[in-house]
Amino acid sequence: MERTYTCGCGQPIPTRRWNLGYKLCLGCGEAHARTVKHCIVPLHKSNYIPITSLQDLRELNPKRRNV
pLDDT of residue 24: 92
Return the HEC string of 1-67. CCCCEECCCCCEECHHHHHCCCCCCHHHHHHHHHHCCCEEEECCCCCEEEECCHHHHHHHCHHHCCC
pLDDT in tens, 16-61: 889 999 999 999 989 988 888 888 888 878 889 888 888 888 888 7
Give the pLDDT of residue 53: 84
Domain definitions of the chain by residue range: 5-35, 37-67
| pLDDT for the residue numbered 21 | 92
User: Residue 65's pLDDT is what?
Assistant: 56
